[in-house]
Amino acid sequence: MDAETLMNVTPEELAASLLARRVMLKESLPGVIRNLEAEEESISPKAKRLENSFEEANLKVADLKRIRDNDQREAGQLISEVKMVRSKLTESGGMVNLDPRWKKKKLIEKIEEIEHKIQTSALDHKSERKLLDQRRVLISENDQWLKDRKESNPEMLEYLQKSRKMSKLYKKADRNHTKMLDAVEKAQPIYAKKTRVLEELKEIRRQLDRARELLSQSDRAIDYWEKRINEGFGDLGHGFPDLLSASKKVKEGGRSSFAKSTRKRRERVRRTKREEE
């Protein structure tokens, strides 16, 4: 409907149109509400299951992280002890037979460096897995060296025991770290699906609330427009103000509310420009 056609619509025609719409809504809204309630009833259990699944996945990740952190913390403390014992052995000559290849590779230091990266760097899952693989190789090399040293240097018992315990803890931490990453990756699609279903449920409930609100207003709105059609559009008392007051003012030469708002906007723009200058 263009502006000219709209201007030619009489109050009676407009009121009749609004009344017809309200009657139509009253007749159709119960069915709409039933359909929305059925959708809500269908989706709600699914949303609940997804929320529970995601919560379980999060708890699993948190539990694996706790175990991993404890093992890594204990292994990290042992690194310092291993280095200290090694230093004492070196000073006393107990490390004279140290394998030159092992010494050159500095396995303990490399393990310590990887541990520092894991603890302090913001890594994606791929990078974390790569570091875990590197540490796994280093620990394997260290274990082999420990096995060889045990046979050739019985006096290094404390060093060997601490190193072996450190390796065991790191292996356990790595296993749980890998499980944790797997659990996080499995939880991601659950989270995405949960978010989508909850948004869908939220929208259904929003529409349902709106439909119920409109239905609750229907009788009052129908009564209102029926009274307007029957008794007119002037001031009919409480709750029925004069709907034609603005029209009368324009006919008498006054400004319409649209013209007033347009003028105010223009004045604000001009004032802003002056202030900027």
Percent of the chain with pLDDT strictly greater than 90:
29
Q: Which two tokens stand for residue 275?
A: 């202030």
Determine the pLDDT at residue 262.
55
Determine the pLDDT at residue 269.
53
Determine the pLDDT at residue 104.
41
Cβ distance 186 to 57 under 8 Å? yes
What is the per-residue pLDDT across 218-244, written as a single tens digit (0 to 9) for each?
999 999 888 888 888 788 888 888 777
What is the DSSP code string of 133-164? HHHHHHHHHHHHHHHHHHHH-GGGHHHHHHHH
What is the C-alpha separation between 272 and 253, in angstroms, rounded? 30
Torsion 176-69-126-141 (CA) sign:
negative
Determine the pLDDT at residue 64.
92
- Best mean pLDDT range from 84-88, 228-232, 234-238, 249-253: 228-232
The answer to whether residue 192 scores a pLDDT higher than 90 is: yes
Determine the pLDDT at residue 27.
92
Determine the pLDDT at residue 251.
66
The answer to whether residue 86 scores a pLDDT higher than 80 is: no
Mean pLDDT, the chain, integer: 79
Determine the pLDDT at residue 79.
82
The answer to whether residue 272 scores a pLDDT higher than 60 is: no
What is the per-residue pLDDT across 97-138, written as a single tens digit (0 to 9) for each?
444 444 445 666 676 777 767 766 666 777 777 777 777 777
Higher pLDDT, 1 or 181: 181
User: Is the model's pTM score more than 0.85?
Assistant: no
